Amino acid sequence: MVLHFLIQGRVQGVGFRWFVHREASELELRGWVRNTEDGDVEVVASGATDDLGELRASLRRGPRGSRVDRVIEQHLDEKEAEGLESFTIEGAW
């Protein structure tokens, strides 16, 4: 299963991408996380349904210092998972 999440709220400048990376890596999901220009965080994750459910719960909770107002979720076609490697943070330096 492949899911796309858009997380809105106070999610930039609070370690949200690193939080997502740690959670997704522990679940052995493939995909990426990045900040958007609009101040949101975007996630694409591929893996088992149960593991994606655990990630979803983590995204709704967020790290300390964040405030998650909304999580928008979309199912993506399985072909979107082609080329996804171990979970990465995009745009991190």
10 is catalytic: no
- Among 10, 30, 34, 35, the active-site one is 35
Strand 88-89 to strand 41-46: parallel, antiparallel, or no bridges (unpaired)?
A: unpaired
56 is catalytic: no
Helix ranges (DSSP H) in 5-47: 16-26
DSSP 66: -
Alpha carbons 87 and 24: distance in angstroms, whole number: 7
Give the residue numbers annotated as catalytic, written as ranges.
17, 35
